[in-house]
Every structure is written in structure tokens, then in C-alpha cells.
Amino acid sequence: MLDVEIDDTHIHKNIIKIKTNETTTMGNFKIEIHNNLNDLKPELMDLFYNNEKLDDNITFKDLKFENKNNIIIQCKLKQKKVKIKRKIRNEEKQLEIIIEPTDSIYGIKNKIFELDKKYPLDSFGLYIENEDKILEESNCSIWELDIFKIEQINLKIIYKFLLIINYYKKEIYKSKNLIKIRDLKRQIENDNKILFFLQNLYINENNNNKKILADDDIISNYSNKKINLEQIIFFIIIFNNEKFIIKSELSTTFKQLKEKISKSSDFILKLYDMNKNELNDDKTIEGHEYKNQDFFHPIYIYAKNYIKISIMYDDIKICNFLFYPFDDIQAMKEIIYNELKIPIKEQLLKLGNLILENNKSFNYYFQMKDNIEKKNEYELYLFRKKIVLIQNFNENIYEIIINKKEDLKQKILELNNLNQNCKLFFYDTIINESCSLSFFQYLVNLDVIILTFKIA
């Protein structure tokens, strides 16, 4: 009996030992190898000794071993001729290559490319017709992928497209079921769960314009093009207490979305998400927190038109802010209080000759005929209502409305006329023309101005 080492490291990456007789032929020894390694069929093997190929009819005795204790037979798989079909337009062509079990899918593609360099390596894939499957590219050998073991390998070249799906690259293969753009959309829907009607496929033309691909376009017209996909989403816009739907792409910025919502320049438009966070003009829809959403359902957005309000006092603009015209005037006065610390009860606002009432919205005045011209900026005049208490006089409470520093001085001096025999005092200070404006400014900042008539 002989102990024979079988070196098949190029297949299984190991060495095995088999006991056999000197009279065993190489053909029968292949059967013994198959019995030990049942994935190796005898007809696929070639046996070598000292790098010489062995005929199936010779025996081990014929080899005349120098050392019968160290017999190493190398087992290699036979090369295969593979016919590869490729279809160019309506004409089908055939290529023939030799493959080995150690070849990878990329290696086979490289052999095809060497025969026909018309298409780059990354523009096509391989499809096994008799197995009905696309060969995924990897560094594994075709033996490890169980492809070489197929008795008759029928390969077909299929062309593929590089899709940019929301900035994620994915290869999509063209097959017998991929003829029109609508077929490609259906495959994307199956692979990526992006619904058919939410897909927008396009290519970038030379002038950098997008060419939207129609559903009935033939895919082969774009075989050398990079096809891009943008996901379409639907927004439910809540605007001025009304709802409507807008369709847009994920790459749309919120500034562009604003332009879709309103073409009017009469107002300043702001957008908010469901959590009342303002949406930045420069951010894209995908760049916002919506990126965690599935996008199969509509997204709610609040849209608000704002106007710019400038507050005038003493002929000086003392503050300005944006205001939502559907809010009431009370809300505007709260903004003024936060900005200027002028108590709400002291504020009186005028637009032209109109006094704005607390419980009315600014929009209410838009609806009044011929009262307000619609625009995006308004100047309002702030008047302050001050209470003057005269301690020792019959009708002792007076309301003074002022818009200028001089107003308070003039109106308090007029109160002096209520008593011809006395003069008004603020504590020990007599109130007359010689009092400075800074003195009256001090009085304006009091909650109640308390005065007393005294004999001067």
C-alpha cells in the first residue's frame, strides 16, 4: 500500500493523504480522490507529478518513485471554455474565454474586457442563464462561490447603472425585465422600498441641466450615463389656517420650498416643523431632522407670513420686529414690552389715524376697505397713556396720551390751569416752563405721576 499526499491547495487550501495500491491507474485514483473530496468530480481533475501531467492509464508503479514514503500528487481542476453572450442593440454576439477555478468574478470580467474593450469594467455585470442569477462581485474564487462546479456555465453580459439614491451609491443591473425606465423604478421600489410614484429619475446634461427621464424611455438609451434618483416627498402645508399639498424632492432647500408655497412678496414667509422649530432657508429637506423619517407619509409644515413692524416714538424708530398678522394686537404689545419694558396698559398703537385695538388682529385691519395697503413693512406710532393723580383736587385722576417728550411737559403745564390760585408740585419741585425735558422723562417712567396743588 502507498500513502499518497494530494496537494490541492489551489482549490481547498489543504493537503490530504489517501492510501492506494501501486497498480492503481490515475483514472481510478481520481475516483478515490472524489470519494474523499466529493465536490471534485473525476472528469474535472488533472493530476501532476513533478509538474508533469499524468495520463489516466498509467499506474503508480509506472511512476518509479525515488521515495515511496514521500509521494506528492498535485491535483488541479481543468480549465473550462465558457461562451459569453452579449447583446448590442438588436444584435447578439458571443465571446469565448478560458476560466480557472481560482478566477474571481472580477478576474472573469477582466478577461472579457481584454477581448472587447468597448465597455469599462464597471459598466457591466455577469448573469448565469442556466442558474437565473446575477453574479455579485467579490474577491472569492468561482470555486468558493460554487460556480465552477456547474457542468455547463452559460454567461451573459448585462449592463448596469450607477444610481445615486439620496447620496447613496447603488448598482442596478439591466436584465430581460429591465427595458423601460418604469421597469427600473419598479426594481428600485423592490430593492430600496422607495415607492414607484415617489421616484424622480434624471441625468445631468452638458449644460448641467436635469433631464427628467419619462417612464416610457428606453433604458439602453442611457447605458453610458449616470442615472440619478431623487426621492419625491409630499408636504401638507398648513398656511393661514388652510391646508394644501406640495410635491418636492429631498434635495430641495426650504428657501425653494417657500417659493413653491407663495410667490407673493407682500409678506415675509417663515416655515416651521411640527415641533415649532424654524426651518433654515439654506438647509435641504433631507438635511433637516426629517432624514429619520420614512418619507412614505406626507410631512406637515407650518407656513406663516410675517410683516415687519417698526415702532416710532418721538419721531425716532425705537424698535422693529417681525409679526404674524393673524395674532392680535395684544401679542404685539407684549413684544414691545419685552423689547422696551413699556407696560402694556400704557401702550396705544396707531397706524395712520387708526387706533389698533387689543382684541383685534392686524389682519382684521387688512380686511377693512381702503384702510391699509397690503405690504410687508409698516410703521406704527406708539403713544403712552400716563395716569396723573392730583392729590388735593376734586376730579383728581387724569389720563394723558403722549408720543413725544415735549407732550408730557405741555399737557402737565395745561393742568396748571385747573386752579388759578395754585401751582402743581412734584413733591417740592414746582412744575413750570423752566423744568427740563429730562425731568419730564423721569416722570414718564413712573407708573403713576402723583402731583399736588400748592400755593406758589
One domain for residues 212 and 319: no
Query: Which H or E run includes 105?
Result: helix 105-115
One domain for residues 85 and 220: no
The pLDDT value recorded for residue 292 is: 46
The pLDDT value recorded for residue 187 is: 81
One domain for residues 154 and 293: no
Name residue 202's beta-bridge partners. 212, 228
Give, as one character, the DSSP assignment of residue 308.
E
Q: Is residue 170 part of a domain?
A: no
What whole-number distance in Å separates Cα of residue 174 and Cα of residue 183? 9
State the distance between the two ends of the chain, measured CA to CA, in whole angstroms: 144
Query: Which H or E run includes 285?
Result: none
One domain for residues 250 and 276: yes
- Specify the number of domains making up the chain: 5
What whole-number distance in Å separates Cα of residue 226 and Cα of residue 201? 10
pTM of the predicted model, to two decimals?
0.53
The pLDDT value recorded for residue 275 is: 84
The pLDDT value recorded for residue 163 is: 63
Q: Is residue 64 part of a domain?
A: yes
One domain for residues 155 and 89: yes
Rounded to 5°, angle at Cα 415 from 412 and 419: 145
The pLDDT value recorded for residue 401 is: 92
One domain for residues 73 and 86: no
One domain for residues 159 and 239: no
Of 226, 246, 267, which closes a domain? 226
Cβ neighbours, 10 Å, residue 101: 20
Domain at 35, CATH number: 3.10.20.90
Give, as one character, the DSSP assignment of residue 59.
B
The pLDDT value recorded for residue 289 is: 60
Q: Is residue 134 part of a domain?
A: yes
What whole-number distance in Å separates Cα of residue 256 and Cα of residue 274? 19
One domain for residues 336 and 432: no
Cβ neighbours, 10 Å, residue 205: 10
pLDDT per residue, tens digit, the chain (456 aa), is 778 888 776 666 667 888 888 889 999 998 988 888 777 788 888 888 888 889 999 998 888 776 677 788 888 878 888 888 876 656 677 888 888 888 888 888 888 888 877 767 777 788 887 777 777 777 788 877 777 777 778 888 877 766 655 555 666 666 656 678 888 888 888 877 778 888 888 888 877 788 889 999 887 777 667 788 888 888 889 987 788 888 888 788 899 898 888 876 667 899 998 888 899 998 887 777 654 455 557 788 999 889 999 999 888 999 999 999 889 999 999 999 999 999 999 999 999 888 999 999 988 887 775 567 778 889 999 999 999 999 877 668 889 999 887 888 999 999 888 888 888 999 999 999 999 988 998 998 898 999 999 886
Q: Is residue 208 part of a domain?
A: yes
The pLDDT value recorded for residue 28 is: 92
Task: Region of 442 please: left (phi>0), alpha (psi -120 to 50) or beta.
Answer: alpha
Which candidate, 360, 451, 444, 365, places its Cα nearest to that of 405?
A: 444
Q: Is residue 379 part of a domain?
A: yes
What whole-number distance in Å separates Cα of residue 310 and Cα of residue 356? 15
One domain for residues 260 and 348: yes
Q: Is residue 169 part of a domain?
A: no
The pLDDT value recorded for residue 333 is: 96
Of 385, 407, 427, which closes a domain? 385
| Cell numbers found for residue 424 | 402743581
Q: Is residue 73 part of a domain?
A: yes
One domain for residues 234 and 286: yes
At 120, phi and psi to the nearest 5? Answer: -60, 160
What whole-number distance in Å separates Cα of residue 338 and Cα of residue 344? 10
Give, as one character, the DSSP assignment of residue 222.
G
Q: 423: domain range?
A: 391-454
One domain for residues 333 and 363: yes
One domain for residues 26 and 141: no
Cβ neighbours, 10 Å, residue 64: 6
| Cell numbers found for residue 163 | 444610481
Of 78, 99, 131, which closes a domain? 78
